[in-house]
Chain A
Amino acid sequence: MELYAPIFVLGGIGAVFVVVSMIVGSIAGPKRYNRAKLQAYECGIEPTPQPAGGGRFTIKYYLTAMLFIVFDIEIIFLYPWAVHFDALGLFGLIAMILFLVNVSIAYAYEWRRGGLEWN
């Protein structure tokens, strides 16, 4: 635990700085509100009404997020393997190559089906 505490000390100093400067910013500035200023900025036209919690967006972002999870899990398996690579020898190499091939099948499938295209 004594190894982890300094990270939170540094994060705490950062958080104090961020909060204090945001409070100072909200106090120090002038306050001259008007209706137009409070609207969302959209290059001067009437703002598009937004449904609560943002608008709708393309399915591409979901696909990217899901592929990200697949690869992130792959990386989680790769790290311990890499750290202990010297001890694992030939067995480790072959096991990891089989694993990479398995993940690459899903990756190649998504590539072929156009999941990586952004048009």
Chain B
Amino acid sequence: MTATALESAGGGAVLAAEETLEAFGHDPWWVTLLKAVVIFVFLMVCVLMMIMADRKVMGRMQMRHGPNRFGPWGLLQSLADGVKLSLKEDVIPRGVDRALYIAAPMIAAVPAFMTFAVIPIGPEVEIFGLVTPIQLTDLPIAGLLVLASAAMGVYGIVLGGWASQSPYALLGGLRASAQVISYEIAMALSFVAVFMYSGTLTTSGIVEAQQPVWFALILFPSFLVYLVTMVGETNRLPFDLAEGEGELVGGFMTEYGSMKFTMFFLAEYVNMVTVAAVSVTFFLGGYHAPPPVTMVWEGANEGLWPVLWWLLKFLGVMFLFIWVRGTVPRIRYDQLMLLGWKILIPVQLVWITAVAAVRMLVNEGAPASVTAGVIVAFSVLFIAALYGWGRAVKRQRAAEAAEHAEEMRRMREDPKYGGFPVPPEKAPHYGSSVPAEEPRNTPPASTGKREEVTGA
């Protein structure tokens, strides 16, 4: 891979992407349509099951049952919810910007579907005598498409909040858009190391580049940052400040009802499905069987088995969403922005530099001692930064605690500060010259008889 890349840089741009994309773009139109319909149905089923699983798993985590009435084990609950929502009154409040108000749910929902076109679900297989990859299409810029359609969803949110002409909706829309663009930067930075190692932006190429070992293992910090931004980007708990019920009622969808609300809801869940699929593609080895399985079983990557591995990884990431939601409390908006701008982005910038330096040294055949020295230098830098940050946080906490204690003391003791004049504890008791021998309100000794309960 290194050799071909060097060649292409020397002798004119033959992108590695063009070789790997041979398999795509040759399907007859009906195969393309069939694949698109299958993906769409898969997405819808995933969303319905995810909403149900969300409520059921959350229920189990909170020691209750969750929905279990409609269909076997409550499996059809979301379908019933959808039918109910479509039968609700479709209120358009007075004073809204009608065109934008109606367009916003569509703008939120439609781009959410499009990312899935470049997600590889399986390798090339032969079905009905036709060799075709289990992937709708792939682009030389598939990595950019993933980010672009994630960014398109922001328009739906901010326009929905803007067109509603309501303070809650406006604030929710602004918050959501600021949050999504902040986390999008950290997400885009977490992809840089992946593209560096795969040498391509095509999703199928990235999956192939993870054949011996997953990027989640060799690029672990990138993977961690992606997991955080994945939750932030989809406005899920603990980052669902855009619709925090406690402060903003329903956020940007306050004024929406019936099917328009459903479209926002659908877009949120489709986005969850998409980012989970992207994490499987970019970090968890795509459709390849996990290494322990391939050691035991040679045929794990043949036929349609890869689809099973893909599904298992995908469901694992989806479960992570619910798990995080059930475990972590919602954070404050300033903490959310602090995490995005002051922690994730600087960490990613340093990490990218470190990865690039080490990879360059290895590529250029530098002596192992130099490489090890650079790794040690970056580790020391990292530990020092962590230590300094820990000390700063500790100092800040101590200062805040001292300030708080001082405030409480003045509230207690200083009448001018608004506190109550409280007599000191050792002051003599007014109204009696002798201090009380025993507590005045001693309960009468029990007589052993049950007291008669009167109607009063």
Q: Given contacts A84-B9, A116-B338, A118-B333, are A78 and B36 in contact (CB under 8 A)?
A: no
B139 and A42 within 8 A (CB): no
B195 beta carbon closer than 8 Å to chain A: yes
Residues of chain B with a CB closer than 8 A to A83's CB: 195-196, 199-201
B251-259, B275-283, B405-413, B448-456: which lies at the interface: B251-259
B86 and A21 within 8 A (CB): yes
A15 and B110 within 8 A (CB): yes
A32 and B40 within 8 A (CB): no
B76 beta carbon closer than 8 Å to chain A: no
B6 beta carbon closer than 8 Å to chain A: yes
Report Cα–Cα, A111/B26, bound state, in Å.
51
Select one of A11, A26, A90, A104 contacting B113, CB under 8 A.
Answer: A11
Residues of chain A with a CB closer than 8 A to B193's CB: 82
A85 and B356 within 8 A (CB): yes
Residues of chain A with a CB closer than 8 A to B139's CB: 3-4, 7
Min CB distance, A57 to chain B, in Å?
A: 6
A61 and B174 within 8 A (CB): yes
Interface string of B306-321 (1 = CB under 8 A from A): 0000000000000000
Min CB distance, B289 to chain A, in Å?
A: 27
B25 beta carbon closer than 8 Å to chain A: yes
Interface string of A10-46 (1 = CB under 8 A from B): 1101110111011011101111110001111111000
Min CB distance, A6 to chain B, in Å?
A: 4
A87 beta carbon closer than 8 Å to chain B: yes
B89-97, B224-232, B376-384: which lies at the interface: B89-97
B353 beta carbon closer than 8 Å to chain A: yes
13 additional A-B pairs beyond A10-B39, A14-B114, A22-B259, beta carbons within 8 Å, are A3-B139, A3-B140, A10-B117, A18-B105, A32-B89, A38-B92, A38-B94, A40-B93, A40-B164, A64-B337, A89-B363, A89-B364, A107-B345
List 18 contacting pairs A-B, 8 Å CB cutoff, sorted by A: A3-B137, A6-B36, A6-B117, A7-B117, A10-B116, A11-B114, A13-B37, A21-B263, A39-B93, A53-B162, A54-B165, A64-B181, A72-B188, A79-B144, A86-B6, A87-B5, A87-B6, A93-B357
Which B residues lie at the A interface, using CB under 8 A? 1-2, 5-6, 8-9, 21, 24-27, 32-33, 35-37, 39-40, 85-95, 97, 102, 105-106, 109-114, 116-118, 136-140, 143-145, 161-162, 164-171, 174, 177-178, 181-182, 184-185, 188-189, 191-193, 195-196, 199-201, 249, 254-255, 258-260, 262-263, 333-334, 337-338, 341-342, 345, 349, 352-353, 356-357, 359-360, 363-364
